[in-house]
Amino acid sequence: MHLCQMCGNELERGVQVCPFCGSSQELTDSTQPKGKFHKTVNLKVGMPFVEEAIKRLQREIAEAKQQHISSITVIHGYGSTGAGGAIRVECRKMLDYFVSIRAINTYLPGETFNHREKSVKNILQRYPALANNKNYNRNNPGITLVIL
């Protein structure tokens, strides 16, 4: 067994096309993926201003793509006022832009990352390993899941 280099699902040894996501597999001597499937990025570390948090988001997405990572959990917080923080709002605006220019596939706000959402069901069909994400079904507005 080895892991798909795109979606992280287990594949039989020698499989050249993942049945889950359809990506071609580059089989190495160890038949292990080039990178991890998922990573978590905490934009709140160091309590940055919005501009610095957005720059970090951009860097982390670029780095994840280079490392062949398929998804990122972005922790941006909900804001201390209880009405949604500025980093959260600007982060999602930037992600909307990235979707529009096809720099990322899509993103899922934490408050909609649950089994009732049709968009989540579609993504879980392609990336079933995301059902094991600790934020799944938690309705957490302080995070956003980015699908690269």
Segment 31-74, tens digit of pLDDT: 344 456 899 999 988 889 999 999 999 999 999 999 989 999 99
Q: Which residues contact 87 (CB under 8 A, 6 or more apart)?
A: 43, 44, 48, 50, 53, 54, 76, 77, 79
Strand order in the sheet with 38-42: 38-42, 71-75, 143-147, 106-109
Band of residue 138 on the pLDDT scale cut at 50, 70, 90: very high
Pairing between β-strand 106-109 and β-strand 38-42 as defined by DSSP bridges: unpaired
For 55, other C-beta atoms within 10 Å of its C-beta total: 14
Residue 22 above 80 pLDDT?
no
Size of the chain, expressed as the number of residues it contains: 148
**Mean per-residue pLDDT over the chain, rounded:** 85
The domains of the chain are located at 1-34, 35-147
pLDDT in tens, 79-105: 766 666 899 999 999 999 999 999 999
Q: Which of 75, 12, 81, 90 is nearest to 45 (CA)?
A: 75
Q: Which CATH architecture has domain 35-147?
A: 2-Layer Sandwich (3.30)
What is residue 29's predicted lDDT score, i.e. its pLDDT? Answer: 45
pTM: 0.75
Measured CA to CA, the distance from residue 147 to residue 127 in angstroms comes to 10
